[in-house]
Amino acid sequence: MSIRAVIWDFDGTILDTEWPAFYAAKVEYERVGLELSFEGWSTTIGTANHRTWSDLLHEQAGDRIDSPELVEQRYRTLKNEMTDSNPVMPGVSRLFDQINELGLGCALASSSPIGWVQRHTTRLGFWDRFEGVATRTDVGRERTKPHPDLFLLAAERAQLDPAFCLVIEDSNHGVTAANAAGMTAVAVPHRLTESHDFSHAAARLDSLEELDLADWV
């Protein structure tokens, strides 16, 4: 297949936001003597269509836990501190340059809200690289990945043909969504998603450093 555009996932693909989110939630579980399941958390990566960790924590901990507002504040503070200190994932900057060199279209589709995505991609210098962006803010929590809505909307906004889009993803939910949108997906998992089933991806790579877009054009 010859591609004409790349559609990025954000969390865990461009920036490691996934480990800070897991670790910050894990700290709150440990405050009340509970353990946050690594495996359980992994199944939620890539989608927003699930019960939140904080709802489950309050359900399990009962009166042992602080107010929901305080728990959420501590969680966000730690998650943001960790995320803000993380560099982009290896290979990301090179791939943005290669997209320009090859004259490919470029868009982003994320199950996170627009504020989160725009803040970090602006900080990293990538926001203006996207011709189209679609986030949870556009489609609602229930229609995030593995539904195709985000990818189709991102392609529409960037005026891209889904059949010629290569999606870069870190989760099985994301790959499923890309396939449902009629796109080709490359999976680049990390420590929280390496156990996912990526048999439906066109390729599975250990790092974005291994991806050469010239091979797909």
* Nearest-angstrom CA–CA distance, 42 and 140: 21
The pTM assigned to this predicted structure is 0.91
d(CA 213, CA 210) in angstroms, rounded, equals: 10
5-15+87-215: CATH, from 3.40.50.1000, 3.30.420.40, 3.40.50.2300, 3.60.9.10:
3.40.50.1000
Whether 97 is a known active-site residue: answer no
Would you state the structure tokens that stand for residue 2, as one six-digit string? 């010859």
pLDDT in tens for each of the 217 residues of the chain?
A: 699 999 999 999 999 999 999 999 999 989 988 888 888 888 778 876 666 777 777 777 776 777 888 888 998 999 999 999 999 999 999 999 999 999 999 999 999 999 999 999 999 999 999 999 999 999 999 999 999 999 999 999 999 999 999 999 999 999 999 999 999 999 999 999 999 999 999 999 999 999 999 999 9
Based on the residue annotation, tell me whether 9 is a catalytic residue of this protein. yes
Q: Where are the beta strands (DSSP E) in 80-212?
A: 105-109, 132-134, 165-169, 184-187, 203-204
List Cα–Cα distances, 28 to 21, 56, 111, in angstroms: 11, 12, 23
| CA 21 to centroid of chain Cα atoms | 12
Select which of 11, 16, 138, 170 is catalytic. 11
CATH 3.40.50.1000 maps onto the chain at: 5-15+87-215
Crossing angle of helices 18-31 and 68-84, in 10° steps, is 140
